Amino acid sequence: MTESDQTPLQPAPQDAQETKAHNAQVLRDVASLPPLPGVYRYFDAQGNVLYVGKAINLKRRVSSYFTKNHGGTRIGHMVSKIARLETTVVRSEAEALLLENNLIKTLNPKYNILFRDDKSYPYLKISAAAPLPGDSNNRAANALLTGATGQNGLKNPATKVNADWFPRVSYYRGAVEKKHHYFGPYPSAWAVKEAILLMQKVFRLRTCEDSVFANRTRPCLLYQIKRCSGPCVGHITAQTYAQDQRDAERFLNGDTHEIMRELEARMMAHADTLEFEQAAELRNQVAALSNVLHQQSVDNVADRDVDVLAVKVQGGRACVNLAMVRGGRHLGDRPYFPVHVEDAAELDDSDEADAPSVQRSVEMQVLDAFIAQHYLNVPAPPSLVVSVPVDKGLLQALTEQTGVKVTAVHNPREQRRVWLEMAQTNAGLQLARLLAEEGSQQARTRALVEALDLALDNLEALRVECFDISHTAGECTQASCVVFHHHKMQNAEYRRFKINDITPGDDYAAMRQVLERRYGKLAEALQQAKRTGETPAGTGQLPDLVLVDGGKGQVSMAREVFEQLGLDLSLIVGVEKGEGRRIGLEELVFADGREKVYLGKDSAALMLVAQIRDEAHRFAITGMRAARAKVRMDGGKLEEIPGIGPKRRARLLQRFGGVRGVALASADDIAQVDGISHELAQEIYRALH
């Protein structure tokens, strides 16, 4: 144990006031930490996670937060909020790194650099081939499908072609299965579709669903335009198709020049044996492949799978641009924008190692955070080309996780340097675009705050919630709640409410119900906080503005709900459509008695209000349509009634046009449907009412 581990925890004298904020239990927990590798988590009084960090020596690292002088910095502000800490001891630094970033992605701590884009990457999928009849070696023999006689090119016309004998190339996103072949990941859906188009042009692999394949009696349009070899109707043998598939897979793996030489050799061999039709097919394939190689960026490099990572930091924001190279082909790039970048310089864990280390720049910390969080779910390629140096411990952890040695090149040469320069340029352009958009959005936020005279000093903190009701003639009523915060729409906080127990089509009752459900428990928690002086854990946040899509009627209903719950009426603003329901003529209606306000067609505040209102409408109507489709297609409650099977359900839906029509019908009307007795009609009526 080192000397610092033996010394009792003593706060720095300059931080006396800061230390008073911590209870004795936190200081005792810090003093009792072991000098082992692990992960620590800080919590505030409400149980919210403030920060997640890793340490080679938990005792030394965590103690430094409470013994150093942080002054009025953001880290000092964070330390003053710590009410509780938790630690997990692990066996190595690599395990600590993996656990730390798993927790970061799960807990979303307030002070960590956080990459929130968790969308899975798309892949190009080539399905597994099924064994041929009478042969267990899959595609090896293909004895039954080597000729073009009989139906579907079979020597035995009675033998039916199986779609699995001709693997399909397709776009795929999700968990992978070992039996199929996957290529990627690709940075975007567009990149996958381009690769599929390439597979069609050069190797003419099929893309149709198995159900379509099984029911074809003549070639489709793709065969006519030479994008498919027509295996569904026997225009290619399984043996030849399997060869094309193998060539396609080798091309995707980067063996382009070897494939070109083999195709040319096969073409000459067919020509020498006077098989001119086969030679012509191969000639066309060579020409198509040659055209692709000239059009696309295909480079003969040693490492065919490379990720190129460039980071740019400016104006308190950062961009990491990820470019993917697979099989020597540059597939495109994707930008990522982390949050909490401003805390990076202060909350750096790199200086807690046993040996002194160089202070890592914000760019290095952002890139380390991206690599650690990104490659938890996405397989890391063996080579990374980076714009700034990467922590060696991070690379070692990735190597242990993947089982393949992962290296990072900071100062690349030749083709890799070209790739890195492209990524750096794109990172700068994407960050400039983001800053411009945020500047415009911040201007709209400021305009709205000024127009409504909101008592708000920090524009970043403005939180707006907007409600809308959607239904089809009273059927499948849905309410939406969308959230605007931090100058943008927060999709993860959207909510839909299924409205029940109201008269169909009563929008006012629907608005009452959704507001009561959204703010009822929150109002109770706020009342309890006033009485006891303590806010219950898990209490939500009351918005600064509640937008209601509607005029005086909807605002009056919202006012009644807020009066009942004891909430501030000044929060409620209705968006009333203008004359002729024309866009840009909307007026704002207030629940606290203020006169209506017209902001002006070109008002930045009205643009923001319209943006939020339109998003609430979109979210409500998509939910309503999905619910309506489910009821109409599945029969809703009908399938739960004893005695109602698929045929009777279909007759009822056809007769009455949907479940709502059945519910509005009398028992005598229901009994008129073929196959429905009076007893069953009474049972249906009771079940739906």
Residue 172 confidence (pLDDT): 87
pLDDT(609) > 80: yes
- State how far the Cα of 482 lies from the Cα of 616, in Å rounded to an integer: 6
Q: What are phi and psi of 579, to 5 degrees?
A: -60, 130
pLDDT at residue 489 tops 50: yes
**Residue 119 pLDDT grade (very low, low, confident, very high; cuts 50, 70, 90):** low
Residue type, 461: A
Q: Is the pLDDT of residue 684 over 60?
A: yes
Q: Is 35 exposed, middle or buried (0-12, 13-18, 19+ CB in 10 A)?
A: middle
Exposed, middle or buried: residue 88 (CB in 10 Å: 0-12, 13-18, 19+)?
A: middle
**CA distances for 399 relative to 360, 375, 409, angstroms:** 22, 11, 15
Residue 265 tokens, joined = 């050799």
Q: In 361-509, where do the E strands start and end?
A: 383-386, 407-409, 463-472, 475-485, 488-489, 495-498
Predicted local distance difference test score (pLDDT) of residue 635: 46
3-class SS of residue 141: coil
Tell me the C-alpha distance between 661 and 24, whole Å. Answer: 67
Q: In which band, very low, low, confident or very high, does the pLDDT at 311 lie, cut at 50, 70 and 90?
A: very high
Predicted confidence at residue 12, as pLDDT, reads: 47
Share of the chain above pLDDT 90, in %: 12
pLDDT digit string, tens, across residues 133-152: 554 444 333 434 444 334 34
Q: 59-68, 70-79, 403-412, 523-532: which has the minimum mean pLDDT?
A: 70-79
Best CA proximity match to 333, nearest among 316, 320, 321, 348: 321
Q: pLDDT value at position 501?
A: 85
Q: What is the DSSP letter of 379?
A: P
Angstrom CA distances, 594 to 464, 550, 591, 599, stand at 19, 16, 7, 14
SS3 321: strand
Q: Is the pLDDT of residue 116 over 80?
A: no
Burial of 533 (0-12, 13-18, 19+ CB in 10 A): exposed
Say how many C-beta atoms besides its own lie within 10 A of residue 407's C-beta. 14
AA letter at 69:
N
pLDDT of residue 348 exceeding 60, the answer is no
Starting at the edge strand that comes first in sequence, how are the strands of the sheet with 383-386 ordered? Answer: 329-336, 317-326, 306-314, 383-386, 407-409
Q: What mean pLDDT is predicted for residues 62-69?
A: 79
Q: Which domains does the chain have, with CATH numbers?
A: 3-101 (3.40.1440.10), 124-253 (no CATH), 306-432 (3.30.420), 459-630 (3.30.420.340), 635-688 (1.10.150.20)
- Say which residue the tokens 């704002």 belong to: 588
**Residue 464 pLDDT greater than 80, yes or no:** yes
- Summarize pLDDT for 89-99 with one digit per residue, the tens: 988 877 788 78
pTM over 0.75: no
Looking at the DSSP bridge assignments, the partners of residue 488 are 485
Q: Kindly give, in sequence order, each residue whose CB lies less than 8 Å from that of residue 203, ignoring residues fewer than 6 positions away.
A: 244, 245, 247, 248, 251, 285
Q: Contact 132/141 with Cβ under 8 angstroms?
A: yes
Where are the extended beta strands (E) located within 327-474? 329-336, 383-386, 407-409, 463-472
Rounded to whole angstroms, how far apart are CA atoms 351 and 364?
13
**285 has pLDDT over 80:** no
